[in-house]
Amino acid sequence: MNWLNDNVNLLALIGAAAIIIISVVVVGKYIKQIKTDKSTGELADENWDGIGEYKNPLPIGWAISFLLSIAWALWYFLAGYPLNGYSQIGEYNEEVAAYNTKFESKWANPDEETLLGMGEGVFLVQCAPCHGITGDGINGKAADFTAWGTESALVETILKGSKGMNYPLGEMPAGLLDKDSAKAVAAYMVEKVTKTGTANPDLVSMGEALWATCTACHGADAKGMGGSAPDISAYGKPGFVVDVLNHGKKGFIGNMPSFNDGRLTDIQKLAVGKYVNSLTQ
């Protein structure tokens, strides 16, 4: 009988017993009344197909609650609902504003791990349909993030050219440099400009001599001459991903829509950038 020690069980049992006892008593009372009661009282004037109605006064409690509910209904119809200006969109706006405020204060200074987690979440919803849940680009259907942003990918980009981000200077043509020069420029760029470190340090000095090929469009500081061309000083870093998210890209592989429509906040874009960079091997 352990279960009887539980308060809730005990209360439920007492309640059940009380319901049974009250039901039996009440039903018994009315059955007795049906057996012995005589119909007495004054009949109303109307008679519906032989069915009459007694003139019973309304119980006072009923009458009061009835009148109160009529008064409340009139107030609600005429003032309560129309004047409080409720709208579903209004509630939505309040909900979103409250959420955004909370989001901003909660993630004002996120640490690295938080950003990666947030980036992964956004990536799986917004990016994975094209780039795949592992970011491998699903057999060439979209950019392969396991290779994207690396030195060897940079060599590929210099050789093949790049297009589709809608910068005023337009398309970067293929074949600006031959293969060896491209390798050298890439080595110089990742070593000296983006400072992410090169695998071919011996080529850096040769690349420096050829660097002018890039600065013609991307500017001496590689920041894209005030928005005329992409800021390649961010190459291989989160900022480069954010740039693509903002511009969209209609490149050689396919067409990526811009995510600059308010769907992602700045901090979410940065988080996606961090996460995409973390996919690079």
Partner 1 sequence: MFHWLEKNPFFFAVGIFVVIAYAGVITILPDFMNSARPVVGTKPYTVLQLAGRHVYIKDSCNACHSQLIRPFKSETDRYGMYSLSGEYAYDRPFLWGSKRTGPDLMRVGNYRTTDWHEHHMLDPASVVPGSIMPHYKHMFSNEADIETAYAEALTVKKVFNTPYDEAGMPKLGTFDESKKIVLAEAKAIVDDMKSPEVKEAFAKGKIKEIVAIIAYLNSLK
* Count of beta carbons in the 10 Å neighbourhood of residue 241: 25
CB of 257 to partner 1, least distance (A): 5
Phi-psi bin for 137: left (phi > 0), alpha (psi -120 to 50), beta?
left
| Sequence-separated (6 or more) residues with CB below 8 Å from residue 143 | 131, 137, 251, 253, 256
Phi-psi bin for 251: left (phi > 0), alpha (psi -120 to 50), beta?
beta
CB of 136 to partner 1, least distance (A): 12
Residue number with CB closer to partner 1 (128 or 204): 128
CB of 205 to partner 1, least distance (A): 41
3-state secondary structure of 149: coil
Residues 129 and 148: their CA atoms lie apart, in Å, by 17
CB of 87 to partner 1, least distance (A): 9
CB of 224 to partner 1, least distance (A): 25
Residue number with CB closer to partner 1 (183 or 249): 249
Residue number with CB closer to partner 1 (186 or 256): 256
CB of 88 to partner 1, least distance (A): 6
Tokens of 91: 């509630």
Residues 191 and 187: their CA atoms lie apart, in Å, by 6
Binding site residues, partner 1, CB under 8 A: 46, 77, 81-82, 88-89, 91-92, 95-96, 99, 125-126, 129-130, 132-133, 138-139, 141, 253-257, 259, 261, 263
* Count of beta carbons in the 10 Å neighbourhood of residue 130: 16
Cα-based distances in Å from 260 to 10, 54, 150, 215, 263: 61, 74, 25, 27, 7
Residue number with CB closer to partner 1 (2 or 139): 139
| Sequence-separated (6 or more) residues with CB below 8 Å from residue 155 | 179, 182, 183, 186
Residue number with CB closer to partner 1 (117 or 254): 254
Residues 214 and 89: their CA atoms lie apart, in Å, by 50
CB of 265 to partner 1, least distance (A): 11
CB of 106 to partner 1, least distance (A): 15
Residue number with CB closer to partner 1 (30 or 76): 76
Residue number with CB closer to partner 1 (121 or 161): 121
Residues 218 and 221: their CA atoms lie apart, in Å, by 8
Residue number with CB closer to partner 1 (172 or 256): 256
